[in-house]
Amino acid sequence: MVQTATRNAPLLDCLAGKVAPVPPMWMMRQAGRYLPEYRALRAEKGGFLELVYDSPSAAEITLQPLRRFEFDAAILFSDILIVPYAMGQDLKFLAGEGPHLSPTLVDHALEGLTAVPERLEAIYETVRLVKADLSPDKAFLGFAGSAWTVATYMVNGEGSRDQHATREYAYRDPVAFQAIIDAIVDLTIEYLIGQIDAGVDAVQLFDSWSGSLSPAQFERWVIAPNIRIVAAIHERRPGTPVIGFPKGAGEKLASYARETGVDALGLDETIDPVWAAANIAETMPVQGNLDPLALLAGGEALESAVAHILRTFAGRPHIFNLGHGILQQTPIEHVHALLTLVKRGV
């Protein structure tokens, strides 16, 4: 349950529709490899998944960026692929290669998997540890992947440039693919409710690969499953805001915002804030959308990109964020410069 009145967290006020002179701010992947203290803990524990499953370490990593920067939110340190892992796929993060899931669902039916729900418990423990330590003016965000994006990894076993295998599978056998989507949706709802009950204030749905779908497929595999997830959260944990982030959705963002029921809309860096201001209801909080490469470059490029975003979203509920995760080569001083620019305003 959100307690905006007693919590006094600016980011939760924004999610409730309040306009602030300085937008609240956090960064996608704010806990991660650009921070030396993250790299040190990762080296000590041996790898990414080892960190996620060591709740005290995962809680510490969640809080690391807030010890350095005046962000308005902590985001749970975990990964969207914990859901397939709990559905019974094996998960490995190989150095320099990204995630691998097996068996892939192209060759094996969903029925071949045995669910391992205990794999979610450590994540809830991380939430409880962070919650106990988080200052009340900070929002705590939980998250999950959207069903489509999670399915692309489950079907193909790893990331791919254009999600070819999964898009083809969805056309070839829509009944089997629908069963995969439904199973992901069902577990995602329980997982998000578990996070909320353990202490997160709001949740974000990451749909990183929604951009590869044709409009009709987008309706079926992005909008429809998200309607189910958002409705279940709203019904079962009323007052918990849901931020939808359909990366790459382009002009389909407008129907996504109207139809899914999300409380706020994440924008990636390819969206012109001017387009978003004109096409997304003025009352819907928007989040974004600085190009992570402008942050990496710094200087004049950073200043003008930040000014354009602040100017365009002034007067409407806006959470300042990147359009996608911070890049690991980003200098820490650039993050300090960004905070100064956002807090100073235009």
Of the candidates 193, 194, 275, 260, which has an alpha carbon nearest to the alpha carbon of residue 221?
A: 260
Residue 246 engages ligand CP3 in binding (rule: CB under 6 A)? no
Say whether 182 is catalytic.
Answer: no
Nearer to ligand CP3, 208 or 260 (CB): 208
Alpha-carbon torsion (277, 24, 292, 250), positive or negative: negative
**CB count, 10 Å around CB of 258?**
13
Residue 28 engages ligand CP3 in binding (rule: CB under 6 A)? yes
Interacting positions 269-298 with ligand CP3 (CB under 6 A): none
Residue 55 engages ligand CP3 in binding (rule: CB under 6 A)? no
23 phi, psi to nearest 5 deg? -65, 140
262-266: long-range contacts, CB 8 A cutoff, minimum separation 24? 262/205, 262/226, 262/230, 263/15, 263/202, 264/15, 264/317, 264/319, 266/204, 266/321
From 13, 54, 72, 79, active-site residue: 79
- Strand order through the sheet with 264-266: 73-75, 139-145, 202-207, 242-246, 264-266, 286-290, 318-322
Residue 117 engages ligand CP3 in binding (rule: CB under 6 A)? no
**Segment contacting ligand CP3 by CB under 6 A, of 6-14, 78-86, 288-296, 337-345:** 78-86
Q: In 3-state terms, what secondary structure has residue 25?
A: strand
**One of 16, 17, 41, 48 touching ligand CP3 (CB under 6 A):** 48
**Segment contacting ligand CP3 by CB under 6 A, of 28-36, 195-203, 223-231, 332-340:** 28-36
Say whether 169 is catalytic.
Answer: no
Alpha-carbon Rg for the chain, nearest whole angstrom, is: 19
**Can you spell out the DSSP letters for 79-96?**
-TTHHHHHTT-EEEEETT
**Spatial distance between the Cα atoms of 8 and 11, rounded to a whole number of angstroms:** 9
Residue 319 engages ligand CP3 in binding (rule: CB under 6 A)? no
Say whether 53 is catalytic.
Answer: no
Residue 127 engages ligand CP3 in binding (rule: CB under 6 A)? no
Determine the distance from the C-alpha atom of residue 159 to the mean position of all C-alpha atoms in its chain, rounded to a whole number.
17
**Segment contacting ligand CP3 by CB under 6 A, of 22-30, 114-122, 218-226, 270-278:** 22-30
**One of 33, 45, 119, 308 touching ligand CP3 (CB under 6 A):** 33
Residue 29 engages ligand CP3 in binding (rule: CB under 6 A)? yes
Say whether 291 is catalytic.
Answer: no
**One of 103, 284, 325, 339 touching ligand CP3 (CB under 6 A):** 325
Residue 77 engages ligand CP3 in binding (rule: CB under 6 A)? yes
**One of 30, 55, 260, 289 touching ligand CP3 (CB under 6 A):** 30
Say whether 42 is catalytic.
Answer: yes
Of the candidates 78, 81, 84, which has an alpha carbon nearest to the alpha carbon of residue 52?
A: 78
From 13, 34, 42, 220, active-site residue: 42
Residue 100 engages ligand CP3 in binding (rule: CB under 6 A)? no
**Segment contacting ligand CP3 by CB under 6 A, of 31-39, 255-263, 265-273, 312-320:** 31-39
**CB count, 10 Å around CB of 278?**
11
Report yes or no: 210 and 246 within 8 Å, Cβ to Cβ: yes
**Spatial distance between the Cα atoms of 139 and 167, rounded to a whole number of angstroms:** 36
Size of the site for ligand CP3 (CB under 6 A): 22
Residue 75 engages ligand CP3 in binding (rule: CB under 6 A)? yes
Find the length of the chain. Answer: 346
List residues binding ligand CP3 (CB under 6 A): 28-33, 42, 48, 75, 77, 79-81, 93, 98-99, 143, 145, 159, 206, 208, 325
Active site residues: 29, 33, 42, 79, 153
